[in-house]
Structure 1
């Protein structure tokens, strides 16, 4: 998949047709090989294992299969991709690659589309090209979840534990709340976790058996994991040191050196094309430096030391302590702030944090906490050295903790980091299983069931793709009003009139913050009032009564969907391309248009920086007769009034129809 993508790109022939032809030929060759070699399909060992496990464990696996796996699989293949990061850069750049027929950088106003790691998008590119529906690209993360749970069990087996402990460790990982949400999304965090776990597993195998095939898989998993997400560098580094020392002790230095050379060669093959594309535009192999005009963010910490690491570690850990009780969340946040004060650190120091610190309970695909498994990991750490761990278990724990500390030391705190912690939780399930099974297998079995029950709501209540329409009911039962009231512009006056004493309408962030903490009954009244005003109407919908095109806008708001549907009839269906002027991605507009018309239209950014003129994709001509934008001020300043035929303006998006086709890019010359 990686090689074919890069080769097609090098010859400017990256297209859905060529990708389909490639996989058709690959499939025919593989089937022919299997028939020629008479490759057997062996499922009898698995059947024998399942036959021999206790009935209670069969019930557990049956529950997981029916209540967890099947519903998530259904969501993965039916729900429209609508994660906010996917709209802004994951899937938008996949569509851009197909439009330009290569992987080279292109003009954009959302710079993260260019330099964020891209192996996940390679998978999305291929699955989007060969699938009958774009929903199928959700299967990448779903498959990564299933594969990761299997590898966690294999690591437990490697450490010497029985099948039952192996099963429980895998089931614990399936119950991870952020993992449940990620399993049906087009994020790439779980895919990165899969590669990381594969690296750990094959590293353990190679350091013990010294088989070359294990070394190759270890190296490939490490390189592809880092190519999927840079955070894997931090989680994997302690394991690299452990495996490196162990390998040096168990085999000749020359052979160990060859393994190192192999890893370096793999890194060179995989990263060189990507780094060269970055360097051409940014004069830096990884990202635009702070001095570059295209610099968009700086996620690396700018202060280093023990107290800074401790502070950021506490903030990251506290992300998993969020609970649907604001008084509790406030107390946890105050405790962390007090510890920072005692260390002489500003909890919101911009050199250590990318977001303002808070503890919250927000159920989304990016921010949900993992409280139960976090508490189980803490209990396991307390009990770990009391149960006489093996040396491999101890080293695994040390490497797991070290990787997390490295992550907190070199990356700024962000509110959405619960999903980047998945590798630590995956290995945490190993630690939980091997530690608590020594205390009592029955106790571990019961704890696993508790994890499944407490995580069950996350299958049903994904706000991007609700399986059932009970999200509003749950909010009412918990008396949990929104801390930030997010409403359409045309609703502000009504809400301000009725809720001005509760929400701060003078300072939108862009949503309106709850001004004070309320008691349970006051919260109940507020939730009831919001329900009467229709605030929870969207939460009462399910995936069954939301159209496919509307699902794309689920995360951007219903107003965005309404505005696009108002504008859509005015788009000339004969146009092959449309100019796009926004600092956001366009996938939801592109996908909704394709769904409605059954044919695609190319989107191209305009109004970008002069720096992009060094790119060959910038020099490719395109003609458009209308502009889609969310910035009317930009239109008034840049588009000549006498060139405009009409303007269809809505609160979130506007369509500018031109009198005649144009090729003007409106490049910023400063």
Structure 2
């Protein structure tokens, strides 16, 4: 049944092509992006609707997709009859478009992008999802939603699972129910990256015909280390980046080409983008403002027709965004008294003056400037400059109201912490080039709006050690600017060499992810890297304290070891003990960082139920009084025993930070 999703994509792409883009430039890419947005919208709406009737199950979701495909098919048959079209007649222009795109990129750029896509695609399919956030809350939601038949909130020790935006998990929910497998989870981000690259190529084409700009821009985006690593995970930063770049493209496409289709696709992007991640608002806001100002300033705005379209666009954006997001926000508000929960409150800046804002911006920027060097002298120098800046402003570097304690990165292969060292320097260099390069006025506006977006982000969001992944939309928005500026000014040989250097620097991140490497990192960090580390005095920690640094290849790695690393033997013994008891109902007592999904993965069994018990946050009101666990797994001690819903539980096992409680006889 999983083929229902690609079938819908093909039908939606064909319909969009015939109705909107048959005569347009880049018609195939435009049709594909529009179809993806429509399919995403269907997933968002259908999940909420099915949830209202407690129909989150395999049969209902499959039926929903069948109805959706039937509607798309009926639309196609109607269009086919009215416009004398067949799939065969569509295939030729699509094939011609693909060939033209191949010629524009050139064989070497295509090979470099294909190699990266192939490596990350293999890992995305073969690896068990083991990102820490995914194990804690991204994927753990699915089991409870399916168990209760809806997407209502549930009692949870992990507040993020019932307060953070849910759209990516709605997609995972559909793929799991259609296929019965978790193998498709990581393809969402991988596919969104493909869509992002298509959008970047379209943005560049709005402003320039330069082939060098196209090649540099695409290679810049595809080789960002944090992007490469995240494309193999079930996080959601690439998903939200897809909607942000789509919004930016449609805004400029409308202002440049007056294409009404682009104008009315923006509300769809806003609605689903906000449902994906709150950072959508910060990055999309400048482009929305530019669109409105540009439209109002048009001489044609005096015409009633344009005013009508503008009013319709604003109304559609507000109504659709609210209609799609208010149900989830309301469910969260009922529990926490806030539509976005309370767990993210520590990520907000609290300013007392302009110096605080400079502090926030500087720390976000310096996050990407760190690198390995002999004796760590390079990082020490930069850290010294950052401290001097803060000293001159009279603002402590690590004041809590402005984020986490600051730390200079060296070289990290983890999808939460990898930074974009070469990317940030290319972005810096593109700023003066943007001033002097001979580019269309609209291209320069796009560039300044991109830089404004990160400044808005830094105003609201404080520095975090894992902030690099939150910067993904900015770097991807900047990719067209890097391509346009460098493609316009640098010599031809540099324009050819730069993509290759970026590709070569990105290849290790694709092959040696610390979480799920295609090649064994254990071999690399035990045999190859130690002499380099000691010989150059790089001071990179490669001992056990560096979590998940030495991993086996995902092609033959044990799922449990991918989840728990060196803690797997103790965890395996606990899980075997639980299964030996053959419980029907299992209770969890977790911390915010517990690997909820990992427990569900190994303990799932037909008819078995899971629930969080003795919850300490506001969601405790959702604990079902009828739920009496046959066994309780705890990752924080509850002492030798306790009572819960009329039963007394005693401690039977304590090992490696885990406690097992069973009913006392």
TM bracket (short chain): 0.7 to 0.9
Secondary structure, counterpart of 1:544 in structure 2: coil
Q: 1:619 to 1:470 in 2, by over 3 A?
A: closer
1:6 maps to which residue?
A: 48
1:612 to 598, 605, 619: 619
1:403 maps to which residue?
A: 453
Deviation, structure 1 residue 300: 1.3
1:586 to 591, 596, 604: 596
2:295 to 219, 237, 247: 247
Deviation, structure 1 residue 17: 3.1
1:138 maps to which residue?
A: 186
Comparing 193-202 with 419-428, greater Cα deviation is found at 419-428
Secondary structure, counterpart of 1:545 in structure 2: coil
Deviation, structure 1 residue 68: 0.9
Comparing 436-445 with 217-226, greater Cα deviation is found at 436-445
Q: Is 2:25 aligned against 1:15?
A: no
Q: 1:308 to 1:267 in 2, by over 3 A?
A: same
CA contact 1:571–1:626 (8 Å) conserved in 2: no
Deviation, structure 1 residue 393: 1.5
Deviation, structure 1 residue 132: 4.0
Offset from partner CA, 1:566-614 (integer Å, 9 cap, x none): 43244256433200001124101111234xx6x4743210111484365
Offset from partner CA, 1:521-540 (integer Å, 9 cap, x none): 6959x96xx5xx99999725
CA contact 1:78–1:136 (8 Å) conserved in 2: no
Q: Find the aligned partners of 1:540 and 1:113 in 2 and give their Cα distance.
A: 28
Q: Find the aligned partners of 2:547 and 2:138 in 1 and give their Cα distance.
A: 29
Secondary structure, counterpart of 1:320 in structure 2: coil
Alignment of 1:618-633 (within 5 A): 618-619=623-624, 621-633=626-638
Alignment of 1:58-77 (within 5 A): 58-65=107-114, 67-77=115-125
Offset from partner CA, 1:7-66 (integer Å, 9 cap, x none): 11111222233222322343344345545635526454464466566698212202321x
Secondary structure, counterpart of 1:627 in structure 2: strand
Q: Is 2:433 aligned against 1:368?
A: no
1:26 to 47, 68, 72: 68
Deviation, structure 1 residue 632: 2.7
Aligned residues: 605
Q: Find the aligned partners of 2:567 and 2:178 in 1 and give their Cα distance.
A: 32
Deviation, structure 1 residue 480: 8.8
CA contact 2:216–2:482 (8 Å) conserved in 1: no
Q: Find the aligned partners of 2:584 and 2:447 in 1 and give their Cα distance.
A: 55
Offset from partner CA, 1:92-149 (integer Å, 9 cap, x none): 1222212222222211111111111111111121122212420211011000111001
Secondary structure, counterpart of 1:446 in structure 2: helix
Deviation, structure 1 residue 560: 4.0
Alignment of 1:7-156 (within 5 A): 7-31=49-73, 33-34=75-76, 37=80, 39-40=86-87, 42-45=90-93, 47-48=95-96, 57-65=106-114, 67-156=115-204
2:312 maps to which residue?
A: 258
Q: 1:359 to 1:227 in 2, by over 3 A?
A: same
1:466 maps to which residue?
A: 517
Q: Give 5+ residue unaligned stretches, structure 2.
A: 1-42
Q: Is 2:557 aligned against 1:550?
A: no
Q: 1:577 to 1:415 in 2, by over 3 A?
A: same
User: TM-score, structure 2 length as denominator?
Assistant: 0.84
Deviation, structure 1 residue 255: 3.3
Q: Find the aligned partners of 2:157 and 2:578 in 1 and give their Cα distance.
A: 25
Q: 1:604 to 1:298 in 2, by over 3 A?
A: same
Deviation, structure 1 residue 155: 0.2
Q: Find the aligned partners of 1:113 and 1:204 in 2 and give their Cα distance.
A: 36
Q: CA RMSD in A?
A: 3.0
Q: Find the aligned partners of 1:31 and 1:455 in 2 and give their Cα distance.
A: 41
Deviation, structure 1 residue 88: 1.1
CA contact 2:142–2:173 (8 Å) conserved in 1: yes
Secondary structure, counterpart of 1:136 in structure 2: coil
Secondary structure, counterpart of 1:603 in structure 2: strand
2:657 maps to which residue?
A: 652
Alignment of 1:592-603 (within 5 A): 592-594=602-604, 599=606, 601-603=608-610
Runs of 4+ in 1 over 6 A off after TM superposition: 533-538, 639-642
Secondary structure, counterpart of 1:321 in structure 2: coil
CA contact 1:138–1:183 (8 Å) conserved in 2: yes
Offset from partner CA, 1:383-423 (integer Å, 9 cap, x none): 22222332112111111111101111111110101111111
Comparing 645-654 with 346-355, greater Cα deviation is found at 645-654
Alignment of 1:180-191 (within 5 A): 180-191=228-239
CA contact 1:172–1:429 (8 Å) conserved in 2: yes
Q: Find the aligned partners of 1:278 and 1:97 in 2 and give their Cα distance.
A: 15
Structure with the higher helix share, 1 or 2: 2
Secondary structure, counterpart of 2:150 in structure 1: coil
CA contact 1:181–1:459 (8 Å) conserved in 2: yes
Secondary structure, counterpart of 2:139 in structure 1: helix
1:227 maps to which residue?
A: 275
CA contact 1:223–1:270 (8 Å) conserved in 2: yes
CA contact 1:472–1:536 (8 Å) conserved in 2: no
Deviation, structure 1 residue 74: 1.1
Alignment of 1:382-393 (within 5 A): 382-393=432-443
1:330 maps to which residue?
A: 380
Q: Find the aligned partners of 1:4 and 1:55 in 2 and give their Cα distance.
A: 39
Q: Find the aligned partners of 1:227 and 1:642 in 2 and give their Cα distance.
A: 40
1:502 maps to which residue?
A: none
Q: Find the aligned partners of 1:304 and 1:523 in 2 and give their Cα distance.
A: 37
Q: 1:563 to 1:215 in 2, by over 3 A?
A: same
Secondary structure, counterpart of 2:517 in structure 1: coil
Q: Find the aligned partners of 2:212 and 2:369 in 1 and give their Cα distance.
A: 30
Secondary structure, counterpart of 2:469 in structure 1: coil
Q: Find the aligned partners of 1:149 and 1:614 in 2 and give their Cα distance.
A: 45
CA contact 1:564–1:589 (8 Å) conserved in 2: no
Offset from partner CA, 1:501-558 (integer Å, 9 cap, x none): xxxxxxxxxxxxxxxxx8846959x96xx5xx9999972521122123433x1xx432
1:281 maps to which residue?
A: 335
